[in-house]
Amino acid sequence: MKVSAQEFTASAAPLPAALPAALADGVFPAGCPSRTVLDHITSKWGVLILLALSEGEQRWSDLRRRAEGISEKMLAQTLKTLERDGLVTRTAQPVIPPRVDYSLTGRGYELSALLVPLVAWAFENADDIIKGQP
């Protein structure tokens, strides 16, 4: 499963990128499955979990610490959604105490490559944006 780094590096550059052909009419259809997927990956905690996992496999408790403020319920729920979407893999080891590792799938990795620059941008611009409010 080869992921082309060049491709993502290029698309992440701050240059005008074209929308896919299917959106050439400029209309974003309402019932479209992409709306659902977009909702999952842009959910409050979804982004943070994907980001955290972009740095490598991590345990439940690691993720709890990293996504500061997340509740156990939301962590479980977010992970389940991402797993169902085929973006995250769960690996449980039958040891005591339990050890469960979460990591990105190829597809999840692909996605995180697009999310990282976005979050980095938000992080860098957040202070300016919030400060400039009337």
Partner DNA sequence: TAAGGTACTTACATGAAAGTTAGTGCCCAA
Partner DNA sequence: TTGGGCACTAACTTTCATGTAAGTACCTTA
87: tokens are 């973006």
Residue 102 bridge partners (DSSP)? 58, 90
Stretch 53-72 residues interacting with its own copies (CB under 8 A):
54-57, 65-69
With respect to DNA, which residue has the nearer C-beta, 59 or 84?
59
Binder of DNA out of 23, 37, 76, 120 (CB under 7 A): 76
Contact between 74 and its own copies by CB under 8 A: the answer reads: no
Question: Phi then psi for 91, rounded to 5 degrees?
Answer: -130, 110
Closest separation in Å from C-beta 36 to DNA? 9
130 makes contact with DNA (CB under 7 A): no
The interface with DNA within residues 10-39 (CB under 7 A) comprises 39
Angstrom distance (rounded) from CA 60 to CA 57: 10
Cα–Cα distances in angstroms (integers) from residue 10 to residues 1, 25, 28, 55, 130, in the given order: 20, 24, 24, 20, 29
| DSSP assignment string, 72-103 | HHHHHHHHHHHHHTTSEEEEEE--SS-EEEEE
Does residue number 75 form part of the binding site for its own copies (CB under 8 A)?
A: no
| Total residue length of the chain | 134
Q: Based on the shown chain and the rule CB under 8 A, indicate whether residue 79 belongs to the binding site for its own copies.
A: no
How many residues of this chain bind its own copies (CB under 8 A)?
76
Closest to its own copies by CB, 14 or 94: 14
Contact footprint for DNA (CB under 7 A): 39, 43-45, 59-61, 69-74, 76-78, 80, 90, 92, 96-100
